[in-house]
């Protein structure tokens, strides 16, 4: 039990002393999660809108597939991405294995179904009257898209935060694709796994608290942005 | 109105930060050597000590990923790393014979030890390794295995077989953790069980417990317990991407006098964890 308090004290020390190893892991975590969030939002919001707004044959089936992908195990995604990025794999020549962009690709696959599914649900939940109003006001397709998404913005923000939480905290992809390489691909979560494996429980707790602090800062910023000015 | 301005600034800051993070992540692909190694060399802190010296001496940046020997060899076979530092000589020889690796050089050794609770319920203290393995089986004493195809796990499987026993895969007293060496020792300690470990990791474990660990060395010094570490260059004829020239430089460096001396000087609790023996 004593390592819990030790961890709290250590977390404060690591942050205040500007411990280079900790900051390297924090920076890597931010890089990876920013990259994967940017990619999954850019691709996922339009896809989610399409899935939620349009009625087409097989929509229910697509929905079931997307919802199933919400349960993607991270180690499994890690293995899949490894198979593609390995030198023996189809994308091996790109040299992405054991790199930050490599991890970001894996995490994008993890986040994309969350963004698509929750955006689609948000768009479906809107009053159909809104779309009629937009069209009758002479909105073109792009304006219809942006207008609808604007009305659903808070639900989409919640989708983004959910995806962000999953991406920030996963360890399977970062470990398998990134390799937990010190100064390069060591994220906070792989560092926690390493420290725990080494029996340095206090250090593991400290890093966990730092991760939570980052999540708190992100949520605080988002909550500030949500507030009506 | 102030709040609106703040919001704008915050939004811009977030957008710029995002772009910066993405751009720097893509542009950080510098030329460097990648090594796959075992948990024992990394967890003990040896590599943290040694690798900066290599970079200082040669100007080559080295990145390493620490896994079990089984996965390290697989990464080599798949051309994903340039060089390996592993400890399972039979598997290594197979790896080289299959044409996956070249220039295998022994660099250092320590020994495996059987550790267990000081009370020694299975009564293995002072026995030979084969006798000890038979005692575990007979007394159904809790034995904690890595169970992860690592170098240590391969050695342990060899010890059961050498004692003329089946590997007790499904026995209830046989615990397979699938985790690294230090985690496995810790689980053995929680279960009051026995385990096989390399001495380097055991010394590190003792140091973590301020020299008074709950598990003690009970069997040691048997010739079969030798633990040899080697480096292997991934075969550049098979894997075009392998930085063979850098890897050869690394092999030359680590088998050289300066690195060998640094390995000998790496100590915890005043004990040498790895003994250099490059030829």
Over 70: is that where the pLDDT of B177 sits?
yes
Residues B169 and B239 in one domain: no
Which pLDDT does position B157 carry in this prediction?
A: 96
Q: Which residues of A are less than 8 Å from B79 in CB distance?
A: 86-88, 92
Range of the domain at A161: 2-226
Residues B191 and B115 in one domain: yes
B275 found inside a domain: no
Write the CATH number for A145. 1.10.3720.10
Residues B131 and B198 in one domain: yes
Over 70: is that where the pLDDT of B30 sits?
no
B159-176 average pLDDT score: 94
Burial class (CB in 10 A: 0-12, 13-18, 19+), B31: exposed
Which pLDDT does position B260 carry in this prediction?
A: 97
Which stretches of chain A drop beneath a pLDDT of 70?
Answer: 228-229
Indicate the residue of A95, A100, A221 with minimum beta-carbon distance to B10: A221
Write the CATH number for B241. 3.40.190.10
Q: What is the pLDDT of residues A48-79, one digit of tens each?
A: 999 999 889 999 999 999 999 999 999 999 99
Which pLDDT does position B103 carry in this prediction?
A: 95
SS3 assignment for chain B: CHHHHHHHHHHHHHHHHHHHHHHHHHCCCCCCEEEEEEHHHHHCCHHHHHHHHHHHHHCCCEEEEEECHHHHHHHHHCCCCCEEEECCHHHHHHHHHCCCEEEEEEEEEEEEEEEECCCCCCCCCCCCHHHHHHHHHHHCCCEEECCCCCHHHHHHHHHHHHCCCCCCCCCCCEEECCCCHHHHHHHHHHCCCEEEEEHHHHHHHHHHCCCCCCCEEEECCCHHHEEEEEEEEECCCCCCCCCHHHHHHHHHHHCCHHHHHHHHHCEECCEECCEECCC
CA angle B32, A200, B207 (to 5 degrees): 95
B28 found inside a domain: no
Q: What is the pLDDT of residues A127-156, one digit of tens each?
A: 888 888 888 888 888 888 888 889 999 999
Q: What is the pLDDT of residues B97-119, one digit of tens each?
A: 999 999 999 999 999 999 999 99
Which pLDDT does position A141 carry in this prediction?
A: 85
B3 found inside a domain: no
B22 found inside a domain: no
Indicate the residue of B11, B26, B79 with minimum beta-carbon distance to A225: B11
Task: Decide if B8 touches A, using CB distance below 8 A.
Answer: no
Residues B207 and B248 in one domain: no
B175-199 average pLDDT score: 93
pTM over 0.90: no
Residues B213 and B242 in one domain: no
Residue with tokens 């030979």: B128
Over 70: is that where the pLDDT of B27 sits?
no
On average, the pLDDT of chain B sits at 92
Residues B219 and B81 in one domain: no
ipTM: 0.79
B16-44 average pLDDT score: 78
**B237 pLDDT tier (thresholds 50, 70, 90):** very high
Range of the domain at B183: 111-225
**B254 pLDDT tier (thresholds 50, 70, 90):** very high
Which pLDDT does position B29 carry in this prediction?
A: 47
B153-175 average pLDDT score: 94
For chain A, the domain total comes to 1
Residues B166 and B220 in one domain: yes
Give the best residue of A94, A95, A179 to mutate against chain B (max B CB count within 10 A): A179
Residues B139 and B74 in one domain: no
Residue of B nearest to A220 (CA): B10
Residues B115 and B102 in one domain: no
Residues B219 and B125 in one domain: yes
For chain B, the domain total comes to 2
* A87 SS3 class: coil
B18 found inside a domain: no
Residues B102 and B116 in one domain: no
Task: Decide if B11 touches A, using CB distance below 8 A.
Answer: yes
Residues B128 and B219 in one domain: yes
């Amino acid at each position: 039990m004593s390592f819990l308090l030790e961890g709290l004290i250590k977390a404060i020390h690591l942050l205040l002393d500007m411990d280079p190893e900790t900051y390297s892991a924090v920076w890597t975590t931010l890089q990876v999660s920013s990259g994967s969030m940017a990619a999954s939002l850019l691709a996922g919001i339009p896809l989610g809108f399409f899935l939620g707004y349009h009625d087409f044959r097989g929509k229910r089936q697509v929905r079931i597939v997307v919802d199933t992908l919400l349960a993607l195990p991270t180690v499994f995604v890690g293995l899949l991405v490894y198979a593609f990025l390995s030198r023996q794999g189809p994308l091996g020549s790109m040299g992405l294995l054991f790199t930050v962009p490599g991890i970001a690709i894996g995490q994008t696959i993890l986040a994309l179904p969350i963004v698509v599914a929750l955006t689609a649900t948000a768009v479906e939940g809107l009053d159909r009257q809104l779309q009629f109003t937009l069209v009758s006001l002479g909105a073109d397709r792009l304006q219809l898209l942006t207008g609808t998404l604007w009305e659903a913005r808070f639900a989409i923000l919640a989708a983004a935060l959910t995806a962000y939480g999953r991406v920030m905290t996963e360890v399977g992809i970062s470990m398998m694709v990134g390799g937990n390489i010190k100064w390069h691909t060591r994220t906070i979560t792989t560092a926690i796994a390493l420290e725990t494996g080494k029996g340095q429980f206090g250090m593991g707790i400290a890093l966990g608290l730092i991760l939570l602090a980052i999540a708190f800062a992100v949520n605080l910023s988002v909550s500030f942005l949500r507030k009506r000015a | 109105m102030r709040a609106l301005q703040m919001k704008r600034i915050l939004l811009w800051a977030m957008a710029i930060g995002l772009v910066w993070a993405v751009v720097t992540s893509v542009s950080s692909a510098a030329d460097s050597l990648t090594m796959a190694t075992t948990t024992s060399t990394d967890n003990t802190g040896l590599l943290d000590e040694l690798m900066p010296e290599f970079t200082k001496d040669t100007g080559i940046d080295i990145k390493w990923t620490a896994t079990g020997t089984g996965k390290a060899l697989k990464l080599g076979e798949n051309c994903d790393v340039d060089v390996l530092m592993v400890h399972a000589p039979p598997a290594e020889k197979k790896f080289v014979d299959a044409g996956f690796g070249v220039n295998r050089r022994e660099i250092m050794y320590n020994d495996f030890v059987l550790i267990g609770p000081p009370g020694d319920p299975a009564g293995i203290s002072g026995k030979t390794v084969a006798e000890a393995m038979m005692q575990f089986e007979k007394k159904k004493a809790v034995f904690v295995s890595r169970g992860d195809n690592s170098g240590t796990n391969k050695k342990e499987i060899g010890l059961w077989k050498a004692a003329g026993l089946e590997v007790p895969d499904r026995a209830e007293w046989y615990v397979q953790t699938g985790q690294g060496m230090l985690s496995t020792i810790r689980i053995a300690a929680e279960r009051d069980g026995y385990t096989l470990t390399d001495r380097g990791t055991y010394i590190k474990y003792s140091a973590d417990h301020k020299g008074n660990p709950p598990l003690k060395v009970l069997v040691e010094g048997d010739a079969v317990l030798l633990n040899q570490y080697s480096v292997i260059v991934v075969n550049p004829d098979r894997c075009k991407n392998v930085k063979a020239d850098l890897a050869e430089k690394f092999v030359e460096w680590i088998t050289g006098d300066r690195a060998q001396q640094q390995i000998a000087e790496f100590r915890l609790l005043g004990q040498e964890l790895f003994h250099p023996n490059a030829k």
